[in-house]
């Protein structure tokens, strides 16, 4: 059974006390040497755990995730807790209200224990762009955990918490999940409300669950999904039995392999292909598909999201939120606050986005990228009429060394080559560990039809069954 569901069952049936489970997770987090957490909310977590135990003693239903400790990425609001986005710009800022996703998790009995490290405002693929310093990969602390949900992935992989929330704009849940050997899901755009998620690229941002197993991710999705009047882009359809969908048989399903993602070269591709072949052995049919626009994913994604970021982040001006640099004139104050508050990568994206939207260039960059996105969406949706899902590696590499790419933005951006197409098109996508390569995890990405998380959860669970335990003795994070 998945650790998430096991803990919930143990707490609900009285085999474990929520306070004991949460205290154990907090203890692990206090001794975290990975830099996964930026804040622990000990008192709040223990109060919630006690309330769950009291509810159980009274005979009340404490919710399907009773007593499950979870970690929350530092860009998802929880009332009364710091909301920093790993940025100097929001140092000292406390969230006045909770994100809908967090509200629903808590209502289901989950217990947030702390805020996790991340690339500043979600901009990065290595976890190194943080005002708190980098997060390390539990499988090899000299390597990156991926990003931007670096702390959430590391905390789950190290066994500190069984599940965590991340946010995914261009792969920020799936890529760190792949590099840390955990499961990460980016749901269909609109599946989980964005209310309370600090905006980066609003047309692609999604909250996504991360867990040690596919069923854990499904259980979190089931309580967070659904319409929300606070987010006009949230889908109208309600939650489904996604945990039950994990038992679906892959037999008879057609899985598309985009030629652009399977070049026949590289050890990562070989490792991921074995997982795909296991699905074929289980009765799925593999077919090649051609998706030419995937070659444009990186420029399209970086132009569109940087443009949106330049607008979204204009609200951070020293007046309304967080830090302020004193200056004699308001214009100086705004410019100095933004220059000192934002880190180098965030400033780079703001400049790129402002350029892409500026007079004389908007047509060639922003509008062109928008048109390419339309074509990509049409191509992927058309391909998915003939197949149930697409399969490809989540990341072209395993975890790289800390510092290896920090001075080369384009090289860093290329880490997202396989994760950006589902983001740009709004399709659901999951990363599931496919195995180890030289002691480091590699992930298989499965992309589903719009609003069809069930199929990719079922396929991912089948890969999980085939693969067996990832660590030496079956526990993620024992490589530490």
Partner 1 sequence: MAVGPETVRHIAQLARLELPEDRLAEVAVELSAILAHMDAIASFQLGAAARDDGPRPQRRPDTPVDFSDSSLVQAPTEGTEVLVPQVKDAS
Our answer to whether residue 98 is catalytic in this structure is no
Q: Which two three-digit tokens encode residue 136?
A: 């390390």
Q: Residue 179 phi/psi, 5° resolution?
A: -70, -25
Cα separation, 318 vs 455, in Å, equals 46
Q: Which is nearer to partner 1, 329 or 473 (CB)?
A: 329
Instruction: Look at the block and give the residue holding tokens 């920093």.
Output: 84
Find all residues with CB under 8 Å of 431, minimum gap 6, and list them: 173, 174, 175, 177, 178, 183, 184, 185, 394, 443, 444, 445
Catalytic residue among 2, 98, 130, 148: 148
Q: Which is nearer to partner 1, 355 or 466 (CB)?
A: 355
Our answer to whether residue 186 is catalytic in this structure is no
For strands 389-393 and 429-437, give the pairing.
unpaired
Catalytic residue among 130, 172, 195, 213: 172
Q: Which is nearer to partner 1, 400 or 413 (CB)?
A: 413
Q: How far is the CB of 372 from partner 1 (least distance, A)?
A: 6
E strands within 336-388? none
Q: Which is nearer to partner 1, 42 or 347 (CB)?
A: 347
HEC letters along 243-290? HHHCCCCCCCCEEEEEHHHCCCCCHHHHHHHHHHHHHHHCCCEEEEEC
HEC letters along 109-163? CCEEEEEECCCHHHCCCCCCCCCCCCCCECCECCECCCCCCHHHHHHHHCCCCCE
Q: Which is nearer to partner 1, 37 or 342 (CB)?
A: 342
Q: How far is the CB of 204 from partner 1 (least distance, A)?
A: 17
Give strand pairing partners of 210: 164, 184
Q: How far is the CB of 405 from partner 1 (least distance, A)?
A: 14
Catalytic residue among 2, 73, 130, 149: 73
Cα separation, 19 vs 8, in Å, equals 13
Q: How far is the CB of 326 from partner 1 (least distance, A)?
A: 9
Q: How far is the CB of 258 from partner 1 (least distance, A)?
A: 16
Q: Which is nearer to partner 1, 230 or 371 (CB)?
A: 371
Cα separation, 329 vs 161, in Å, equals 47
Q: How far is the CB of 328 from partner 1 (least distance, A)?
A: 8
Q: How far is the CB of 340 from partner 1 (least distance, A)?
A: 9
Cα separation, 472 vs 109, in Å, equals 32
Asked if the bond preceding 148 is cis, omega within 30° of 0, the reply is: yes
Q: Which is nearer to partner 1, 283 or 386 (CB)?
A: 386
Q: Which residues bind partner 1 (CB under 8 A)?
A: 293, 295-296, 298-300, 302-303, 310, 314, 317, 328-332, 334-336, 338-339, 342, 347-348, 350-352, 354-355, 357-359, 362, 364-365, 367-372, 374-375, 377-379, 409-410, 413
Element (H, E) at 70: strand 69-73
Cα separation, 141 vs 135, in Å, equals 9
Q: Is 410 exposed, middle or buried (0-12, 13-18, 19+ CB in 10 A)?
A: exposed
Our answer to whether residue 203 is catalytic in this structure is no
- Annotated active-site positions, please? 73, 148, 172
């Amino acid at each position: 059974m998945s650790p998430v569901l096991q803990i919930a069952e143990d707490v609900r049936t009285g085999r474990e006390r929520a306070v004991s489970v949460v205290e154990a997770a907090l203890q692990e987090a206090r001794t975290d040497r990975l830099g996964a957490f930026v804040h622990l909310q000990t008192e709040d977590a223990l109060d919630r755990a006690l309330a769950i135990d009291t509810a159980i003693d009274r005979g009340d239903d404490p919710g399907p995730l009773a007593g499950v400790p979870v970690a929350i990425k530092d860009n998802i609001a929880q009332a009364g807790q710091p909301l920093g986005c790993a940025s100097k710009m929001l140092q000292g800022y406390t969230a006045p209200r909770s994100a809908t996703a967090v509200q629903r998790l808590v209502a289901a009995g989950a217990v947030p224990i702390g805020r996790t490290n991340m690339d500043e405002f979600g901009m990065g693929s290595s976890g190194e762009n943080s005002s708190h310093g980098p997060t390390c990969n539990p499988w090899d602390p000299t390597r990156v955990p991926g990003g931007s949900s670096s702390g959430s992935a590391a905390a789950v992989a190290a066994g500190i918490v069984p599940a965590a929330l991340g946010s995914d704009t261009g792969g920020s849940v799936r890529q760190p999940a792949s590099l840390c050997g955990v499961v990460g899901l980016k749901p269909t755009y609109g599946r989980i409300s964005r209310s309370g998620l600090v905006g980066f690229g609003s047309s692609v941002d999604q909250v996504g669950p991360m867990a040690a197993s596919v069923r854990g991710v499904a259980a979190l999705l089931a309580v967070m999904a659904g319409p929300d009047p606070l987010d006009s882009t949230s889908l109208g359809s309600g939650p489904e039995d996604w945990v039950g969908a994990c038992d679906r048989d892959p037999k008879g399903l057609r899985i598309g392999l985009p030629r652009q993602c399977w070049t026949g070269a590289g050890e990562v591709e070989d490792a991921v292909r074995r997982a795909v072949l296991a699905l074929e052995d289980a009765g799925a049919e593999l077919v090649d598909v051609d998706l030419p626009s995937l070659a444009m994913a990186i420029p399209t994604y970086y132009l569109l999201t940087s443009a949106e970021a330049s607008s979204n982040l204009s609200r951070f001006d020293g007046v309304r939120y967080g830090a302020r640099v004193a200056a004699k004139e308001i214009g100086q104050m705004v410019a100095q606050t933004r220059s000192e508050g934002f880190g180098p990568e965030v400033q780079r994206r703001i400049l790129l986005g402002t350029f892409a939207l500026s007079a004389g260039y908007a047509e060639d960059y922003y509008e062109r990228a928008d048109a390419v996105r339309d074509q990509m969406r049409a191509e992927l949706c058309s391909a998915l009429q003939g197949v149930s899902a697409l399969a490809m590696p989540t990341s072209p590499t395993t975890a790289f060394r800390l510092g290896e790419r920090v001075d080369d933005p384009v090289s860093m951006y290329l880490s997202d080559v396989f994760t950006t197409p589902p983001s740009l098109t709004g399709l659901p996508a999951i990363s599931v560990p496919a195995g180890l390569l030289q002691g480091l995890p590699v992930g298989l990405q499965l992309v589903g039809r719009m609003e069809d998380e069930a199929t990719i959860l079922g396929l991912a669970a089948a890969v999980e069954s085939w693969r067996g335990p990832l660590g030496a003795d079956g526990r993620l994070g024992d490589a530490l």
